[in-house]
Structure 1
Amino acid sequence: MNRDYSYLIDTLSNWNYQLDEKQIQQLDKYYEMLIEKNKVMNLTAITEFDEVLVKHFADSLSICTIIPNDIKTVCDLGTGAGFPGIPMAIAYPNFQFTLIDSLNKRIKFLQEVVDAIGLHNVTLVHARAEEAGRNKLYREQFDLVVSRAVANIATLSEYCLPLVKVNGYFISFKSGEIEDEISQSGKAINKLGGKLTKPVLFSLPNTDISRSFLIINKEINTPKVYPRKAGTPSKEPLK
Structure 2
Amino acid sequence: MTDTAELPPAPEAAQKVFGDRLPDAVRYGELLAEAGVRRGLIGPREVPRLWERHLLNCAVLSEVVPEGVTVCDVGSGAGLPGIPLALVRPDLRITLLEPLLRRTTFLQEVVELLGLDHVSVVRGRAEEVLGTFEPVHVVTARAVAPLERLAGWGIPLLRPYGEMLALKGDTAAEELQASKAALAKLGVEETSVAQVGVGVVTPPSTVVRAVVGESPGGVRFAAKRARAARRSPGKARRRR
State the partner residue of 2:145. Answer: 151
Does the CA-based 8 Å contact 1:196-1:214 persist in structure 2?
A: no
Q: Flag the 1:204–1:104 CA change in 2: closer, same or farther, 3 A.
A: farther
Does the CA-based 8 Å contact 1:199-1:212 persist in structure 2?
A: yes
Of 10, 34, 44, the match for 1:4: 10
- The answer to whether residue 211 in structure 2 is matched with residue 217 in structure 1 is yes
More helix by share: 2
Q: What is the CA RMSD across the aligned residues, in angstroms?
A: 2.5
State the partner residue of 1:236. Answer: none
Residue 182 of structure 1, CA deviation: 1.6
- TM-score, normalising length: structure 1: 0.80
Does the CA-based 8 Å contact 2:56-2:201 persist in structure 1?
A: no
- The answer to whether residue 69 in structure 2 is matched with residue 72 in structure 1 is yes
SS of the residue corresponding to residue 150 of structure 2 reads helix
Aligned equivalents of 2:173, 2:71: Cα separation in 1: 27
Unaligned runs of 5+ in 1: 13-18, 228-239
- The answer to whether residue 163 in structure 2 is matched with residue 169 in structure 1 is yes
State the partner residue of 1:104. Answer: 101
Matches within 5 A, 1:193-232: 193-201=187-195, 205=199, 209=203, 211-221=205-215, 222-223=217-218, 225-226=220-221
Unaligned runs of 5+ in 2: 1-7, 223-240
Q: Flag the 1:209–1:165 CA change in 2: closer, same or farther, 3 A.
A: same
Aligned equivalents of 1:57, 1:160: Cα separation in 2: 22
- TM-score, normalising length: structure 2: 0.80
Match of 1:74, as an amino acid?
Answer: V
Per-residue deviation, residues 1-42 of structure 1 (Å, max 9, x unmatched): x933423234x3xxxxxx332x11111111122222134211
State the partner residue of 2:181. Answer: 187
Identity over aligned residues, as a percent?
Answer: 27
SS of the residue corresponding to residue 87 of structure 1 reads helix
Per-residue deviation, residues 77-100 of structure 1 (Å, max 9, x unmatched): 000000000011111112111000
Question: How many aligned residue pairs are there?
Answer: 215
**Relative CO higher for 1 or 2, CA cutoff 8 Å, sep ≥ 6?**
2
